[in-house]
Structure 1
Amino acid sequence: MMRLQRRTVAACSSALALALGATACGGGDVAPAGSGGKNLDGSKVAVAGVWSGTEQKNFRKVLDAFSEKTGAKVEFISTGDNVSTVIGSKIEGGNAPDVVMVPQVGVLKQFAQKGWLQPLGKKTEQTVTDNFAPVWKNYGTVDGTFYGLYFKAAHKSTVWYSPDALDQAGVKPPKTYAELLKSSATVADSGLPAFAVAGEDGWTLTDWFENIYLSQAGPEKYDALAAHKLPWTDPSVVRALTTLGELFAGKDLLAGGRPGALSTDFPSSVGQVFGDDPEAAMVFEGDFVGSIAKEEYGRKIGEDATFFPFPAVDGGKAPVVSGGDAAVVLKDGRNRKAAMALMDFLATPEAAEVWAAEGGFLSPNKKTDPSAYGDDTAREIAESLVEAGDTVRFDMSDQAPAAFGGTKGMGEWKILQDFLRDPADPKDTAAALEAAAAKAFKKN
């Protein structure tokens, strides 16, 4: 996915030179600043991940900073979206990378259960304990063992909008979901559909559901449903679907109506709001919407493209749903020492600040300097993520087996697309979700 904007790293580069290997940040094998030593000279580290384009380029800058400090050479291998299959093939072929950037909690658990992962070192673990909210360590832990360092996060509780469109309709960003529905109707009455919905990409529909469910049902039920300890036929699920259905069924609320939404992919949904000929006033998705609005449509973030937090539902707290990429070390990698040193480095705020300065990145590390972010909007979103602390919940579909939560044309993605097509029967949709979840979790 495309991400946020770039800028020159003027402020943080000098600090970076002084502090990349500071032992207070969990430097581990990374040489301390000023030592002049590159204790990993000659080492090679292979890092695999899904990133391509701008994301890969910006992560490469983080890896280059590590290389500059330690002398280790780092190769990046792009896996494409099917990380599990690619990494499995490389392990079987005796060509496993040392480190993998894993984009889903479910995949991290799968790797751990297959015995592919090496527990992370004590210094990395201590840094995470000290500088991250406990929820991030929990999501990187499987059966009591810490395997995954969440280096990059996403904030998936942001509603992006055109200020001009809301101004013309005479509405302000809502604080509650009820206000959102009311404002959406007012926008539609002004002649512009309220929302662009990327129904062709089923993952966006899971994010709609998750934000409503987390706020309406609360974090305990969210956790239980994510682990399938609560059935999808539970009344709380039916209630959340009913709430979502009010938006989907609203008159003139969706660009192109429900059929149009079902044929709209995610990048196009952003264009429907921020393109030259707007078709909607708002689009819900993560912080990365800003990147597309800026890079593809020339919008100035914070002025003609901005956001408000996903509003609280039925008296609950405003949700903060996140996603993220966890760094893990493979047992079959060839250079464990250098891999663990890279982990120590990625746990530091200095590593996060390299990418934060470039845009399209959020760090869950509380010690990351907010001034490293390239603009006020990115800074506000990053601070919101950190301030949410342990109330953050990881994308529910990313925690599920892929057959249920992460496969096009199957499971939750397909069932919620069917619900968008016809939101008249939330109970029937809940039953379909439960049947699919039960099957997928049984096989997992």
Structure 2
Amino acid sequence: MMRRRTTLASCTALALAMGATACGGGEVTAGGGDKALGGQTLTVAGVWSGSEQKNFQKVLDAFGEETGAKVQFVSTGDNVSTVVGSKIEGGNAPDVVMVPQVGVLKQFAKKGWLKPLSKKTEQSVDTNYADVWKKYGSVEGSLYGLYFKAAHKSTVWYSPDALDQAGVKTPKTYKEMLKAGGTVSDSGLAAFSVAGQDGWTLTDWFENIYLSQAGPEKYDKLAAHKIKWTDPSVVEALTTLGKLFKDEQLIAGGRKEALSTDFPGSVEKVFGPEPQAGMVYEGDFVAGVAKDQFGKKIGQDADFFPFPAVDGGKAPVVSGGDAAVALKDGKNQKGAMKLLEYLATPEAAAVWAEAGGFLSPNKKLDLAEYGDDVTRETAKSLVGAGNSVRFDMSDQAPASFGGTKGMGEWKLLQDFLRDPSDPKATAQRLEAAAAKADKG
């Protein structure tokens, strides 16, 4: 890949993070560029596919260019816990896993699968990250996970042309958003493209509504399962979400088609060659798909507004992230630790930031490294929120409840999309599944 220069700010931050002093006007290199891992191979597993996998490979290639290592990425699909467990049992464990859920990270640590991160990486985290990221990467006081990629999951993406043609402005409240959606539908396009085939997108819908409507204290309690899913606040949030799901004209193709639409497909329905909807709710990573797959100019052809406040609450800020962990059974322990040390630097984050569809929780990454103003504003909002953001609730749950395809919250919210007529019954099913996961 093309070698890239870093800004002076990035160079200085990298020197601090890596203990290096050789920034004097030249290029900053991972591992000092000494090819210390020449001839060695590392395997990294994660859920990414498509443009995300392609852009992460650029980061791995940058590491390989400087260290001499060859790094292979293996996509696990959504069931990362099951796939990694099978690979460990089969004696083919990856060296590093990009874990997309806090609950899965905790599960891996409790099973004894993980190695604590090196002191060098932990020092970088202490210096370059808000405390919340260390908290979610730690289990019983030991730091196992480095959050390399963050997500701002309180963004609603839209086609400016679609909203302009309908004569509506970006909404400030949830009620205004549904009203604007009705106007967009009347103009010929459905209001929303919903990725119901991917259950995780439905949990994100619920979490934003719940955080704004019920408030952060209730959110924290529900995330820790200190209140039951049958709590009236849960039923109220499901009722609010159900109003959207019930209105067939608001959803592209109706509920049935939404259940067969995956995340990339939901973005295509708004920004693809044959638009079917004016808006799609999901995180900042929508921009990467819109840009890479459909050639949209972010801020011009594709833009976002913050997920609006619900019923007089505050506008929610829900985040998520992918944490890099090193497996004890990996065949290249030294290489794994070197890779994690590299991923903790601003240089590594800058590679993907330049490619797009990415946010870094690393405070030392120069915002100028992002390729457009919209992404810069999103990154500034997320990093600037510090410890006040709330981490994705389903990602904090045990994997069998909050992070497995065809099970738990993912499946039950898909069932709710299919038939949103009984929020109370759905809450009861969610509670039963959460209690079972806790015991398991």
* Fold agreement, TM-score > 0.5: yes
Moved >6 Å (runs of 4+): 34-37
Q: Give the corresponding residue for 2:60.
A: 63
Report the counterpart of residue 275 of structure 2 in structure 1. Answer: 278
Q: Is the 8 A contact 2:10 2:347 kept in 1?
A: no
Q: Structure 2: how far apart are the matches of 1:438 and 1:267?
A: 32
User: What is the root-mean-square deviation in Å for CA atoms of aligned residues?
Assistant: 2.8
Task: Verify: 1:442 aligned to 2:439, yes or no.
Answer: yes
1:187-217 deviation digits (Å, cap 9, x = unpaired)? 2333432112122322211111011111222
User: 1:181 aligned to 2:189?
Assistant: no
SS in 2 for 1:420: helix
Q: Which moved more, 1:283-292 or 1:54-63?
A: 54-63
Q: Compare 35-44 and 137-146 and name the one that shifted more.
A: 35-44
Aligned partner of 2:387 among 366, 387, 390: 390
Structure 1 segment 22-421 matched on structure 2, within 5 A: 22-25=14-17, 27=18, 38=34, 40-42=36-38, 44=40, 46-50=42-46, 51-69=48-66, 71-81=67-77, 82-250=79-247, 252-421=249-418
Worse-superposed segment, 249-258 or 300-309: 249-258
Distance 1:75 1:263, change over 3 A: closer
Please say if residues 173 and 309 of structure 2, whose CA atoms lie closer than 8 Å, have aligned partners that are also in contact.
Answer: yes
* Counterpart AA for 2:212: S
- Counterpart residue identity of residue 55, structure 1: E
Question: Which sections of structure 2, spanning at least 5 residues, go unmatched?
Answer: none
Aligned amino acid, residue 238 of structure 1: V
SS in structure 2 opposite 1:360? Answer: coil
The 8 Å contact of residues 31 and 38 in structure 1, kept in 2 or not, is answered as no
- Structure 1: 5+ residue stretches without partners: 1-7
SS of 1:164's equivalent? Answer: helix
Cα distance in 2 for residues equivalent to 1:302 and 1:159? 13
How big is the shift at 1:428? 1.4
Match for 1:134: what amino acid? D
Distance 2:344 2:118 in 1: 11
Counterpart AA for 2:185: A
Q: Give, in angstroms, the shift of residue 32 of structure 1.
A: 5.2
* 1:116/1:245 CA distance change after superposition, 3 Å: same
Shift of 1:45: 5.4
Q: Could you say what secondary structure the match of 2:356 adopts? A: coil
In 2, the alpha carbon distance for the partners of 1:163 and 1:18 equals 34
CA displacement at 1:417 relative to structure 2: 2.0
Letter of the 1:209 counterpart? F
- What is the CA distance between 1:95 and its match in structure 2? 4.3
Which stretch has the larger CA shift, 82-91 or 128-137? 82-91
- Percentage identity across paired residues of the two chains: 70
2:5 to 13, 24, 32: 13
Counterpart CA distance in 1 for 2:185 and 2:33 is 63
